[in-house]
């Protein structure tokens, strides 16, 4: 059995981005918006609140390692980083050309965690060859969940997998 690699898969022009090394942790955050009525108070004196709406799930993946030091020809890690930078640019083909960035599904093995846009990317180059070629980097990603109606029809399968890896329909 081979090691499953984490990846971001797009069916609307973004291509597939494979991670060289799997993440060590996935951090999910969920939030709901509440509207506070400052004039109305509960019996304990707290402001009464009304449910507003749920915010999309946010997935943070920190310290994603890219290392090309051992590769023949001492390939720069910038090639891998550019895939993530392109994922934050407007599509250059398809029906949503120049309208929005590509959508992705973050998967790892058989688990489909989140349908998303990449909303934040930062990276640090951490190792260089004597000629200045960067050969190691750490990346931080923030992925924001999107509704299926935002993405292309037919993307993914009818069965989805929730954040714990369980199938749901």
Domain that holds residue 120: 7-30+56-162
- Rg, Å, the chain Cα set: 20
Domain count, the chain: 1
Residue 42: its pLDDT value, please? 83
Residue 161: its pLDDT value, please? 45
**Residues 6 or more apart whose Cβ sits within 8 Å of residue 59:** 26, 27, 28, 106, 113, 114, 116, 142, 143, 144, 145
SS3 readout for the chain: CCCCCEEEECCCCCCEEECCCCCCCCEEECCEEEEEEEEEECCCCCEEEEEEEECCCEEEEEEEEEECCCCCCCCCCHHHHHHHHHCCCCCCCCCCCCCCCCCEEEEECCEEEEEEEEEEEEEEEEEECCCCCEEEEEEEEEEEECCHHHCCCCCCCCCEECCCCCEEC
Nearest C-alpha neighbor of 10 from the set 155, 114, 113, 109: 155
Residue 167 forms part of a structural domain? no
Question: Could you say which residues of the chain have pLDDT below 50?
Answer: 151-161, 164-169
Distance separating the N- and C-terminal Cα atoms of the chain: 28
pLDDT by residue (tens digit) across 110-149? 999 999 999 999 999 999 999 999 999 999 999 999 987 6
Residue 162: its pLDDT value, please? 53
Handedness of CA 151, 155, 158, 161 (dihedral sign): negative
Residue 71 forms part of a structural domain? yes
């Amino acid at each position: 059995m081979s090691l499953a690699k984490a990846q971001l898969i797009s069916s609307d022009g973004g291509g597939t981005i494979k991670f060289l090394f799997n993440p060590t942790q996935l951090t999910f955050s969920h939030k709901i918006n509440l509207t506070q009525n400052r004039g109305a108070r509960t019996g304990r004196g707290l402001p009464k609140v009304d449910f507003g709406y749920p915010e999309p799930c946010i997935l943070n993946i920190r310290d994603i390692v890219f290392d090309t030091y051992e590769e023949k020809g001492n390939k720069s890690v910038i090639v891998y980083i550019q895939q993530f930078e392109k994922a934050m640019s407007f599509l250059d083909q398809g029906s949503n050309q120049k309208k929005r960035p590509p959508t992705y599904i973050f998967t790892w093995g058989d688990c489909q965690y989140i349908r998303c846009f990449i909303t934040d990317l930062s990276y640090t180059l951490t190792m260089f060859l004597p000629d200045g070629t960067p050969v190691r980097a750490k990346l931080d990603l923030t992925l924001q969940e999107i509704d299926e109606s935002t993405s292309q029809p037919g993307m993914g399968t009818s069965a989805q997998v929730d954040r714990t890896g369980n199938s749901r329909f």
